Amino acid sequence: MTNPALEVRDLSVAYSSQGRLLPVLEDISFSVAPGEALAVVGESGCGKSTLAASILGVLPGNASILKGAITIGGLDTTRAGFEAMRAIRGTRIAMVSQEAGGALNPSMRIGRQVMEAVVAARKVGRAEAEAAALDLLTRVALQNPAAVMRRYPHQLSGGQQQRVLIAMALAGNPSVLVLDEPTTGLDATVEAEVIDLIAHLRREYAAAIVFISHNLPLVSRVCERIAILYAGRLIEIGATAAVTAKPAHPYSAALLSCLPSPQHHKILNPVAPILGEVPPPDNRPAGCIYAPRCPLRTDNCTAKQPELLAVGEDHSSRCLYPDRVDAAEAQNPIASQVPAIADEHVLEVEHLVKRYGDLTVCDDISLTIRRGETFGLVGESGSGKSTLARCIAGLITPESGVIRLNGRPLAGQTRQRELGEIRALQMVFQSPEATLNPSFSIRQTLGRAIKKLSRRGQEKSEVGTLAKDVRFPEGLLDRRPRQLSGGQKQRVAIARAFAGKPELVLCDEPVSALDTSVQAGILYLLTRLQVEDRVSYLFISHDLGVVRYLADRVGVMYLGQLVETGPTHQIFAGPRHPYTDALLKASEREIGGSPRKGASIDQVEPSASACRFAARCPHATTRCTTEAPPWRIGEDGHQIRCHLDLETLRSVA
Ligand code: SF4
Ligand code: SF4
């Protein structure tokens, strides 16, 4: 057997806080062979980032390694000094972090940043570094790498920035590459491209990869082994096929089943959130750490911590009852029947146009949403989805077009709208942090929302009711936003939107920044509130799986235009617009083959007399570049904007 490129043995790490040592990682052991990819999966608070920082030797000052060893190419990095670590960082080990934008220097051109990484790793001169930087940017499949060299980070998309970071990490040809949530927050198409690229580079560079993520189904597409981390302990490890086909720990099974799939139904067979929270380091239970959340626990589970024992070849679990684990934990239905959607429009948008300078961000958008309906809006970043929602919310004013709520035209700006209209039309954003006042307690925030949107004098009793409605723990009402988890903050944001009993809630990527387990809880909550209150949603997401699960109808936007709209089941069954088809395939595709090129950095507004998707469409003809495509009308209001007829579109999907 070849020597591992990375070996972590009995690693325990603690943080000191207020005179106490809080254990964050306990007895972690695994190894990764050259060219092998190991996924490390778990929710926020499980110790994934601490593990990455330990491997990189960049733990914060209040952290200490209590015991264990991390060996990279024969060097125990837990005992190596500062200089020794500096010498191997970038050459033997490198990292790609989640926030590509934050990791790049905003005031330095990309070329110089990549060249600096090359010089640091290879100790070469300027000319050689420049050639190497160009070569690296080419290898990460960036279109027009010479032009990318001249750009600043803000002139690149998130996916392009992530490719640049990967290029910099590869500058020293490292034997170990740590990827810390490298695709979180990226569009499905870009995510698929980055995952493809990682799979390709792995073969080319033969680096050992540690891929840290909260998304188990995603990493199982690219890694051959998986390690599941829970509350600082390794609770299952094994070959991907074994762990995903027959998980041997209830936590792994829960992580696998909390992402929506076509087998789920949002009301009759909803995705199962993992109830409860990861216990903090200062309050970890005795015995099995998963026991408080585990549906299989018995009295034996709390008596003693289970050991990590083999359950098969290259497959171990820290559960007393691995044979009882069911991969598909069923969730109670939200209602016994699916409520009918009224044939009454809550929202009508007609011919809405919004421009920023010369760029038309929303181009002649028309759509309707019925009472009790969820309308899913999908498309890549820059497609105009959020701009459309902000126009509807009155946060920005469109150049032209009409927005009607319950048949009455709405004023362009929120402050010109009546209180009843504001109450009826609310918005939930991707980052609740940005909209929750950090100096207010949650009780104050909800009280103010009720005061503004509801009857006066009711806030004391209603804050409790509102918190209960969104399953926000009453004991946390006096906390500030920074003391809450991401999922808890999003529950507060949803509670605030529901303070005035809204009729339509605009949800702009409300689950994109959340762990998959927390996401399942928010999707469940939104559906339950809809069933109870007959509220309608405009649900914006780049995640087609989530939209397929939640939406009754879907609109697909591309470069400011709606290119397809119709009932969700029709769109997924086909025929589909070629762009929708590309989005769907990106979210479903298996990994392999050559990496696909990222989108061009030189995005120009297409001519009005052409199909906007022509430059990327595999079926484009000359006509597509000279003539705007017509709407093709299918069944049940399904419409596709394309020159191809429905039969042809069905055959090419
Ligand atoms: S040991 Fe018991 S509590 Fe822990 S995961 Fe297994 S069944 Fe659940
Ligand atoms: S009109 Fe032409 S370019 Fe546009 S989506 Fe249809 S086939 Fe593709």
pLDDT at 460: 52
559 lines ligand 2 (CB under 6 A): no
Query: Cα-flanking dihedrals φ and ψ of residue 167, to 5°?
Result: -60, -45
Is any ligand 1 atom within 6 A of the Cβ of residue 294?
yes
Asked if residue 250 has its Cβ within 6 Å of ligand 1, the reply is: yes
Least distant ligand from the CA of 646? 2
Is the CB of residue 182 below 6 angstroms from any atom belonging to ligand 2? Answer: no
1-92+174-338 and 349-437+488-571 agree in CATH topology: yes
Cis, peptide link before residue 473, omega less than 30° from 0: no
**DSSP assignment string, 295-333:** TT--GGGGTSPPP-EEEETTEEE--S-GGG--SS-----
Report how far residue 84's alpha carbon sits from residue 52's, in angstroms, rounded to the nearest whole number: 18
Q: What is the pLDDT of residue 458?
A: 53
Q: How many CB atoms lie within 10 A of CB 35?
A: 16
**Residue 155 CA to ligand 1 centre (angstroms):** 49
**Residue whose tokens read 């690693």:** 11
- Match 């769907």 to its residue by tokens: 584
Prediction ipTM score: 0.88
Task: Give the neighbor-by-neighbor strand order of the sheet with 425-428.
Answer: 425-428, 504-508, 536-540, 374-378, 553-558, 561-567, 639-641, 631-633
- How far does residue 70's CA lie from ligand 1's centre (Å)? 29
Ligand 1 pocket, residue 230 CB under 6 Å: no
Q: Is any atom of ligand 2 closer than 6 Å to the C-beta of 629?
A: yes
Regarding the beta carbon of 297 and ligand 1, being less than 6 Å apart is answered yes
**1-92+174-338: CATH topology:** Rossmann fold (3.40.50)
The answer to whether the CB of 361 is under 6 A from ligand 1 is: no
Ligand 2 centroid from CA 566, angstroms: 18
Mutate to test the pocket of ligand 1, among 228, 230, 297 (most ligand atoms within 8 A of CB): 297
| Per-domain residue ranges of the chain | 1-92+174-338, 349-437+488-571, 575-590+603-652
Q: What is the pLDDT of residue 590?
A: 44
Are the CB atoms for 322 and 353 separated by under 8 Å? Answer: no
CA distances from 91 to 85, 87, 94, 128 (A): 10, 7, 7, 17
Give yes or no for residue 319 CB within 6 A of ligand 1.
yes
- DSSP letter string, 60-91: -TTEEEEEEEEEETTEETTT--HHHHHHHBTT
Q: How many CA atoms lie within 13 A of 61 on its CB side?
A: 0
**Atom from ligand 2 closest to the CA of residue 643:** 1
Measured from the CB, is residue 219 less than 6 Å from ligand 1?
Answer: no
Domain 349-437+488-571: which CATH number of 3.40.50.720, 3.40.50.970, 3.20.20.70, 3.40.50.300: 3.40.50.300
Give me the residues paired with residue 349 across strands.
367, 403
Convert the pLDDT of each residue in 166-198 to its tens digit.
889 989 889 999 998 888 767 777 777 778 778
Atom of ligand 1 nearest to the CA of 302: 3
* Gap from CA of 453 to ligand 2 centroid (Å): 46
Ligand that comes closest to the CA of residue 307:
1
Note the pLDDT of residue 597. 54
Q: Which ligand is nearest to the CA of 236?
A: 1
Distance separating alpha carbons of residues 114 and 117, to the nearest angstrom = 5
For residue 329, what pLDDT is reported? 59
User: Is ligand 2 within 6 A of the CB of residue 585?
Assistant: no
Q: What is the pLDDT of residue 459?
A: 53
Radius of gyration of the chain, Cα coordinates, nearest whole angstrom = 26
Pairing mode, if any, of strands 561-567 and 536-540? Answer: unpaired
**What does the pLDDT read at residue 156?**
82
Please tell me the predicted confidence (pLDDT) of residue 157: 77
Residues of the chain with confidence (pLDDT) below 50:
589-595, 598-604
**CA nearest ligand 1 atom 6, residue:** 319
Q: How far is the CA of 602 from the centre of ligand 2 (A)?
A: 20
| Ligand 2 neighbour 617 (Cβ under 6 A) | yes
